[in-house]
Amino acid sequence: MDQASTRNAVVTGAAGGMGRAIVARLLADGLQVTGLDIDADGLAEMAALSGFTPMTVDLTDPQAIADAFAQIRPVDVLVNNAGTCFMSAFPDIPAAELDRQMAINFSSAFHCCQAAVKAMAGRPGVRKIVNISSNGAYNFDVFDPPHYRASKAAMDTLTKDLARRYAREKIAVNSIAPAMTETPLFGVVSAEVLDAAIAAMPHGRPMQPQEVAAWVGFLISPAGDIASGNVIVLNQGRDVR
Ligand SMILES: NC(=O)c1ccc[n+]([C@@H]2O[C@H](COP(=O)([O-])OP(=O)(O)OC[C@H]3O[C@@H](n4cnc5c(N)ncnc54)[C@H](O)[C@@H]3O)[C@@H](O)[C@H]2O)c1
């Protein structure tokens, strides 16, 4: 494929459970992928993937994000996937934990969006931003703590703002909000809480990262060109009332 027709994607949190599946999906779909993650060892395990460029970046550092995007041009696709879930209980969540939760889950995506829309300028076709949110922003029966929920709700408001703001520039922006998906993030909760949350999944099993990545691939495919401003909930129908 020549340089003009190659589509370039940036995936944050690329070395994590969901990130690796998203990278694999986009590479299989023919995109060049730059993966940003703080986990240098995890990225090193992926370095041999054809079409993949690893970049070790702390996404809580806005300058580091700016420096990274200065090296990644042009950009056609951004997937804001980096995130974590801190589990301190309200009303004793330390101020520093709240700040870090918002920095990793929300501010990182905000800064990456600002850098990416500039790097998308002049690119052909419909450019895509996919934000990996969480079902935890909407389901108040599950265990998620309030700073995690709020970080994802903020992300989804950013999705809607940018979708509206850039509709005529043909940048489509959507959130995917998954429920229980089997990744290393499962380690943040106790075995009891995890078992109960998995038992509540209608299919009797957690979702797999590849299943979520398939939806990212769909949004990034031509079929996704006409969808923008949505929060797509993936949860096996768990919360339908
Ligand atoms: N696993 C689930 O059940 C689930 C459900 C809903 C939403 N999500 C969301 O999916 C996304 C991916 O999570 P996952 O389940 O793959 O977890 P994961 O822990 O396997 O992956 C998260 C990745 O983000 C990276 N990261 C964390 N802090 C970073 C920083 N400061 N700079 C750069 N990279 C950083 C980690 O190194 C890791 O590779 C997250 O945003 C998470 O909130 C996960």
Domain boundaries, the chain: 8-234
What pLDDT digit, counting tens, does each position of 154-209 carry?
A: 999 999 999 999 999 999 999 999 999 999 999 999 999 999 999 999 999 999 99
Ligand 1 nearest-atom number relative to CA 19 = 16
Superfamily name and number for 8-234: NAD(P)-binding Rossmann-like Domain (3.40.50.720)
Instruction: Please give the pLDDT value at position 37.
Output: 98
CA of 99 to the centre of ligand 1 (A): 17
Q: Are 228 and 174 in contact (CB under 8 A)?
A: yes
Q: Which ranges of 74-177 would DSSP assign to H, the alpha helix?
A: 95-102, 108-120, 146-165
Q: Ligand 1: which residue has its CA nearest to atom 17?
A: 185
Instruction: Please give the pLDDT value at position 3.
Output: 53
What angle is formed at CA 210 by the lines to CA 154 and CA 134, rounded to 5 degrees?
20
B/e letters for 126-165, b = 16+ CB within 10 Å, e = fewer, are: bbbbbbbbbbbbbbeebbbbbbbbbbbbbbbebbbebbee
Tell me if 15 CB under 6 Å of ligand 1: yes
Q: 148 catalytic, yes or no?
A: yes
CA of 106 to the centre of ligand 1 (A): 12
CA of 179 to the centre of ligand 1 (A): 13
Instruction: Please give the pLDDT value at position 4.
Output: 56
Q: What is the pTM of this model?
A: 0.98
Instruction: Please give the pLDDT value at position 15.
Output: 98
Q: pLDDT confidence of 220, banded at 50, 70, 90? A: very high
Residue 123 has pLDDT above 90, yes or no: yes
